[in-house]
Amino acid sequence: MDYANALLDLVGDTPLVKLRRVTDDAPGLVLAKVEYLNPGGSVKDRIATRMVEAAEASGELRPGGTIVEPTSGNTGVGLAMVAQEKGYHCIFVCPDKVSEDKRNVLRAYGAEVVVCPTAVPPEHPDSYYSVSDRLVEETEGAWKPNQYANVNNPEAHYETTGPEVWKQTDGRITHFVAGIGTGGTISGTGRYLKEVSDGRVQIVGADPHGSVYSGGTGRPYLVEGVGEDFWPTTYDRDICDRIIEVSDGDSFDMTRRMAREEAMLVGGSAGMAVVAAVRLAQELADPDAVIVVLLPDGGRGYLTKVFDDTWMGQHGFLAPPPGERTVGDLL
């Protein structure tokens, strides 16, 4: 019989798929690392397992304990999966820009969700960072993975994502492109690829317009899961050879194209990373370029946002908003 003993055993080993249409005939290969095929639906499944197991080993997390974490959703799903398997309780703290769909997913896995305002600085008592700190103090047996400062976050990518990409491309990868949230993905994967290629592989960060990684101050943008208003310690400032800044409008446009032209239903941060990868391919104009771009999560958590014409129109991304056809139009 061929079966997994637990869902957690299926984390990682995601496929690489060639992008054929959204590249607009740019020379070279653009390969997508499809992280939404992880069992919890995102790249964050990789770090959840590693962070929890390290905390158990160090004694920070004890049997029956509670995992408390500020998360935009994906890390929460990964942690909730691990928590179920191992019998922990979860409380997640989300900024209010995170869609209701995503919060409901966390609740469906049995977690408690606390929502905080997005438009306050990190040091404000109502910020999602401050609220999660308070919950840790007040909850017995609480442990905060702190994905923004946990070395096991980049380490999970150094150990798994990097080697997978290297092996899948037979060492022919020339560029790795990813969005930066905590920076775990790009720092861990990037460090591995730099080491194994003697510095040959170029690491390219994709960043929303306004975020600190591309020189902004953290001005609010609408793409979720990427960009920051502070510098997390999980981000290695020496790893990126280059950062490509992408607007919300371009990110969302590409996110919709990915679904319609490549049949890949992805989230806005994946669309953003693909914009950067395609720009890079066009600019390099090198038929031997092998660009790997990481797609962090799937699009089902964004149906009422990027895939909704009314929402897009309200935010000025679709002009004029296309009207829906009624039965009358068809007669």
Sheet of 290-295, strand order: 16-18, 29-34, 290-295, 175-179, 202-208, 242-246
Residue 87 DSSP code: T
Q: Which of 44, 102, 194, 305 is catalytic?
A: 44
Phi, psi of 98 (to 5 degrees): -70, 130
- The interface region with ligand PMP, picked from 24-32, 76-84, 213-221, 224-232 by CB under 6 A, is 224-232
210 binds ligand PMP (CB under 6 A): no
Complete DSSP assignment for 226-267: ---SS--TTS-TTT-SEEEEE-HHHHHHHHHHHHHHH---B-
Write phi, then psi, for 235 (nearest 5 degrees). -95, 125
Does residue 180 bind ligand PMP (CB under 6 A)? yes
Considering only 11-19, 26-34, 175-183, 193-201, which stretch makes contact with ligand PMP by CB under 6 A? 175-183
Closest residue by beta carbon to ligand PMP: 225
**Which residues make Cβ contacts (< 8 Å) with residue 243, sequence separation at least 6?**
180, 204, 205, 206, 207, 213, 214
Q: How far is the CB of 111 from ligand PMP (least distance, A)?
A: 16
Does 74 sit near ligand PMP (CB under 6 A)? yes
CB of 269 to ligand PMP, least distance (A): 3
Q: Tokens standing for 115?
A: 């929502």
Q: List the interface residues with ligand PMP, window 243-272 (CB under 6 A).
A: 267, 269
Q: Is 76 in the site for ligand PMP (CB under 6 A)?
A: no
Q: DSSP H helical segments within the chain, as ranges?
A: 45-58, 74-86, 100-108, 128-138, 152-156, 162-168, 184-196, 248-262, 268-284, 309-314, 327-330
Beta carbon nearer to ligand PMP, 174 or 269: 269
Q: How far apart are CA 270 and CA 7, in angstroms?
A: 24
Stretch 123-162: interaction string toward ligand PMP, x if CB under 6 A? ----------------------------------------
The answer to whether 181 contacts ligand PMP (rule: CB under 6 A) is yes
Q: Is there binding between residue 297 and ligand PMP (CB under 6 A)?
A: yes
* Residue 65 or 267 having the CB closest to ligand PMP: 267
Nearest residue (CB) to ligand PMP, 45 versus 297: 297
| Under 8 Å between Cβ of 209 and 247 | yes
* 184: contact with ligand PMP by CB under 6 A: yes
Q: Is 194 in the active site?
A: no
Residue 226 interacts with ligand PMP (CB under 6 A): yes or no: yes
Three-class secondary structure of residue 294 per DSSP: strand
The region of 13-21, 113-121, 218-226, 322-330 touching ligand PMP under the rule CB under 6 A is 218-226
The answer to whether residue 49 forms part of the interface with ligand PMP (CB under 6 A) is no
Nearest to 90 by CA among 103, 73, 106: 106
Among 28, 40, 95, 183, binds ligand PMP (CB under 6 A): 183
Tell me the catalytic residues.
Answer: 44
Q: Which stretches of the chain bind ligand PMP, using CB under 6 A?
A: 72, 74, 179-185, 224-226, 267, 269, 296-297
